[in-house]
Chains A and B, each alone.
Chain A
């Protein structure tokens, strides 16, 4: 496959996914914040909370309306740019997405109308229920998509059928409850909650800086920062579980996240570091030009044992007999055996040679775990872009730490001091809104760039997943998407800032 084409197809999917993710996290979290505010309104009967709820609900609607359906484009891309992949994954990818479309999206959309049009028309409690169901529906949508993504990172619950050239699901629960899917879902939705909290805190801080709608801003900030603090703690815990799953299921990604070339016991985590660009697998250059390391932390994070051995990139590429780590060359050979057996099976199928079919099926099944490795030319190809993965991971973690600190500071100043006097904190809160988006995107870069070269972990490399189509077609559609999504983003920012400037006394 022409590398140029694969890179453009990859860039197009990355562009679509990253733009899509600019809209999603706010929907995931703001839905719950609005539902909490409306619950306070229903409990207290206070018109102030009704007005506050309606204001944030309007911002939720703007984000929802502009972001909705941007994910559909990725489904188009699967069919056109990634035809081999979309056929090979079979119903495993289709089933969760179909459930998402039927159940979650319709549930969300139905109650969305009640939430917006139902003020003063339906019973208060039914309205509140609708608001909660919109929030839950948004998160259910995310569940199915993240289950599909989790399967790509850790394919389970299926068997490959050489007759149809497709993977077939034999255990839905294995796919749904895969530890990678579960930790990915929890960590991703938690990041959305934190993002939405940053948004509420940041917008409220802007009102305080402008010395307007002070009571509204302080109360909104209190809800946002409380929700933010709780969910940021949960984000940390779910991040720990995600890293543990990466260590077990995708050790190459973990080593890239930490720039770990040499495996070691009692491995530390690099808190801050600059990778040495001269470092390769084969030379003895230092891994870092500069680093500040937290001792034992990587062994603890990855394997929940401070003495655990964390395999380095060298171990994973070349193997380490002493530690029982299989090298990539051995996996490549097993992968080639699987592909040859697959082809021999298909040849036997043509002439209806049952015995030969059965024999090759056994050989293929024995080596199927390494099927994708058979397409690699050399062991070094299992490495993802190390610098991108390393820096994205550290940006995400550093920003996550900052958000937790910010929520604590904001809550302290709101409850114990006069936060209006701490203008630098208010400005920090405003500027943390874009930082929240950067952290979210960085998280996806870690997840997706870090698992390269795989479209499906160990089973299908990206180069094999892509369709042979004209590169110019992909380049043109890349340009179209860039224009479409940038226009949508500008529209969102413009409408959102206009509505914020109108303030809580404006209508929706």
Chain B
């Protein structure tokens, strides 16, 4: 039976023994920060989900855009 401690050691050893993996993790973390924080909150801060709270508001907004174009 794998205990949580063994699982933790498995990952810890894995990360400690990585060579190129360390550089890759740095890239992944920087990239995720850019995508999930900078882009998500500063570039794509407004979307149909953030601008309208209820489903009715969202459907009315889209309906106004679809009619009589």
Contact = CB atoms under 8 A, between A and B. Distances in A.
B37 interface: no
A166 B59 contact: yes
Interface size class of B (residues with CB under 8 A): 35 or more
Contact of A58 (B20, B46, B66): B20
Contacts of A76: 39-40, 43-44, 47
Contacts of A68: 28
Given A61-B24, A164-B55, A72 B35 contact: yes
A499 B62 contact: no
Contacts of A495: 20, 23-24
Interface string A60-87: 0110011011101100110110011011
B31 to A, nearest CB: 6
At the interface, is chain A mostly helix, strand, loop or mixed? helix
Contacts of B66: 84, 88, 165, 339, 342, 464
At the interface, is chain B mostly helix, strand, loop or mixed? helix
B5 interface: no
Contact of A464 (B17, B19, B23, B65): B65
Interface string A381-412: 00000000000000000000000000000000
A69 B14 contact: no
A488 B31 contact: yes
A66 B44 contact: no
Given A62-B20, A86-B48, A117 B27 contact: no
A116 B11 CA distance: 10
Interface string B6-33: 0000110111011111011101100110
B27 to A, nearest CB: 6
Interface residues of A, number: 49
Interface in A326-377: 339, 342-343, 346, 375
B7 to A, nearest CB: 10
Nearest to B13: A117
Given A121-B10, A508-B21, A79 B65 contact: no
Contacts of A469: 46
Interface string B46-58: 1111000001001
Nearest to B14: A117
A11 interface: no
Interface of A: 1, 58, 61-62, 65-66, 68-70, 72-73, 76-77, 79-80, 83-84, 86-88, 113, 116-118, 121, 163-166, 339, 342-343, 346, 375, 464, 467-469, 476-477, 480, 484, 488, 491, 495, 499, 506-508
Interface of B: 10-11, 13-15, 17-21, 23-25, 27-28, 31-32, 34-36, 39-40, 43-44, 46-49, 55, 58-59, 61-63, 65-69
Given A76-B44, A116-B21, A495-B20, 18 more contacts: A61-B24, A62-B24, A65-B25, A72-B35, A72-B36, A76-B39, A79-B47, A79-B48, A87-B58, A87-B61, A113-B14, A117-B10, A117-B13, A118-B10, A343-B67, A346-B67, A469-B46, A480-B43
